[in-house]
Structure 1
Amino acid sequence: MTARTMARTGTIVTVAAMIALAGCAKKKPAELPPPPGPASDAGNQGPVGSGPVGNGIVPGSRADFLQQVGTDTVHFDTDHSDVNQEAQGILTAQAKWLVAHPTVRVTIEGHCDERGTREYNLALGDRRATAAKNFLVSAGVSADRLSTLSYGKERPVAMGSDESAWAQNRRAVTVVPQ
């Protein structure tokens, strides 16, 4: 082989390797997972072996949680992550339900209003979710059944730039799977 043929072969091998590796490049993950389905899906199946009871709601399901507890959401004051008296009442009811359903695992989402930077709101949302989790743990729920996730200001429930919308968006949501 001549030097020119060897150089050409080396170039072809290098280009082929680069093409092969380009196909293996990691794809950029989505920034946020898709939102959960509607909170009122009462027809979904619950844990294996369970079935609907008299009212058609599966014990241990999201619909059962909402019916028994009343709400999956607690609200916070501006720039705060402390659990106020109203939130304590709601979280106490959630803890009672979770203790009664020891196989159910939940995710607690932290949310903020639109004000502030993305980074600040992600951190504040994390503090809110963690505060709700810590309250549930102190009320007897096993910490390994609770995970937290912060969305910051990325998933508002109320659109608008006024106190009413902001107050609705400053929250922690306990998400019970179907």
Structure 2
Amino acid sequence: MRYISMINKLYLLAFLALFVSACATTQGEEVTVVEESVDISAEGEGDGSATPIEESTDGGAMAMPIAEDDLSAEEMLEQSDTALANRTIYFEFDSANLTDESLNFLEVHGNFIADNGNVHVRLEGHADERGSREYNIGLGDRRAQSVRRVLLVQGASSDQIETVSYGEEQPAVMGHTEDAWAKNRRVELIYTVN
């Protein structure tokens, strides 16, 4: 009897060790490299300065330069007419893939974070109400991680980025329509300056 109990303890110990090692994060995060980069800085050098947004003739956003020396990080974040003012990234149904437009805005955010070591961002992942709560928490996390990977590629430090998923728990828009669901499939960038 004691022999069986000892074997059960060994199995339990082996299972726990396997479980803990499976939960460990990997050092080699997979990063998708975008082959075509869109340069939205004034001189084409990607200097990370905040840029006001102006509507282009094709309906997209065009960037205009602001001298970054004139503004502190806090002041740049408070400007409502810059690319940094767009702090919500939207996603397609049941997807964590970023659109080309989102990648353009994230390039500005990534450069801004990389250039300002005192800036931290919390990426809050959200989902619409369709699907189970558990699934939507996971989907919100995958969306936040997608944004995180892009910011890291742009030069932001992992110490400056925190991710959290709220799943369907904090909808931006109440309702059971496609328009409401589309507004709830998002990642919000919440900045703090130390």
Name the one with the larger strand percent. Answer: 2
- C-alpha separation in 2, matches of 1:137 and 1:66: 23
Aligned positions of 1:65-144 closer than 5 A: 65=77, 67=79, 68=82, 69-144=84-159
Structure 1, unmatched stretches of 5+, are: 1-57
Structure with bigger gyration radius: 1
Match for residue 49 of structure 2? Answer: none
Q: Which has the higher contact order (CA 8 A, sep 6+)?
A: 1
Map of 1:60 onto structure 2 = 73
Q: Which runs of 5+ in 2 are unaligned?
A: 1-70
SS in 2 for 1:105: strand
RMSD across aligned C-alpha pairs, in angstroms?
1.8
How far apart are residue 83 of structure 1 and its match? Answer: 1.3
Distance 1:169 1:118 in 2: 14
Name 1:155's counterpart in structure 2. 170
Q: Distance in 2 between matches of 1:169 and 1:66?
A: 24
Tell me which amino acid in the other structure corresponds to 2:76. Answer: D
Residue 177 of structure 1 aligns to a residue in which SS?
A: strand
1:53-99 residue CA offsets vs partner (Å, 9 max, x unmatched): xxxxx7223x6325231211111000000111111011111112212
- Equivalences, count: 121
Return the offset for 1:120: 0.3
Percent of paired sites with the same residue: 37
Give me the whole-angstrom Cα distance separating, in 2, the residues matched to 1:175 and 1:151: 14
Off by >6 Å, runs of 4+ in structure 1: none
Could you tell me the TM-score, scaled by structure 2's length?
Answer: 0.59
Alignment partner of 1:167: what SS? helix
Q: Which letter maps to 1:59? A: S
Q: Give the Cα–Cα distance (whole angstroms) in 1 for the partners of residues 78 and 175 of structure 2.
A: 27
Q: Note if 1:173 corresponds to 2:188.
A: yes
Q: Contact conserved, 1:73 with 1:173, CA < 8 A, in 2?
A: yes
Contact 1:159 1:165 in 2 (8 A): yes
Distance 2:110 2:103 in 1: 10
